[in-house]
């Protein structure tokens, strides 16, 4: 399968989701990642807490470019939908409505996986406030 952005062959890649290995495909040129929707859910359930929340997300020009699904190459070619991540509102994923594969641009996988220490503490305080 080729990268929907660069047309370079995607290479097998393993993601560590809180000790669970998730198989994915990665573009060696743009470092985008192809995941199955179920695997994305497993990645979203793990949280890697970092002292600093430093993210390198793609710009608007990259996120607004329409991409065709690399799996459903057609004809007809399937245009992927833009979907905002529930984990990080700054991440705009490309999701195929037919095969449900997910394309994450450079930096988006890390943004979904990681959370800054202050944001994690804020989540704990919100949970305590709701419970009490």
**Token digits of residue 116:** 């800054």
What distance in Å separates the CA atoms of residue 104 and residue 22, rounded to the nearest whole number? 15
Instruction: Give the per-residue pLDDT at 13.
Output: 94
CA distances from 101 to 53, 125, 128 (A): 27, 35, 36
Instruction: Give the per-residue pLDDT at 122.
Output: 55
| Residues of the chain with confidence (pLDDT) below 50 | 51-52, 116-117, 120
What distance in Å separates the CA atoms of residue 47 and residue 17, rounded to the nearest whole number? 8
Instruction: Give the per-residue pLDDT at 117.
Output: 46
Please answer whether residues 24 and 15 qualify as being in contact, where contact means their C-beta atoms are separated by less than 8 angstroms: yes
Instruction: Give the per-residue pLDDT at 115.
Output: 58
Q: Find, among 93, 111, 90, the residue nearest to 103 by Cα.
A: 93
What distance in Å separates the CA atoms of residue 95 and residue 13, rounded to the nearest whole number? 19
CA 117-55-93 angle, to 5 degrees, is 110
């Amino acid at each position: 399968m080729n990268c929907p952005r660069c047309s370079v062959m995607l290479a097998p890649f393993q993601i560590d989701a809180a000790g669970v290995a998730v198989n994915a495909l990665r573009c060696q040129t743009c470092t985008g990642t192809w995941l199955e929707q179920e695997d994305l859910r497993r990645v979203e359930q793990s949280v890697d807490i970092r002292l600093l929340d430093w993210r390198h997300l793609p710009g608007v020009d990259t996120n607004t470019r329409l991409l065709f699904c690399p799996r459903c190459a057609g004809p007809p070619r399937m245009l992927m939908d833009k979907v905002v991540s529930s984990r990080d509102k700054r991440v705009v994923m490309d999701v195929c409505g037919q095969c449900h594969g997910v394309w994450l641009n450079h930096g988006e996988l890390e943004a979904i996986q990681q959370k800054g220490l202050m944001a994690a503490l804020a989540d704990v305080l919100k949970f305590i406030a709701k419970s009490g």
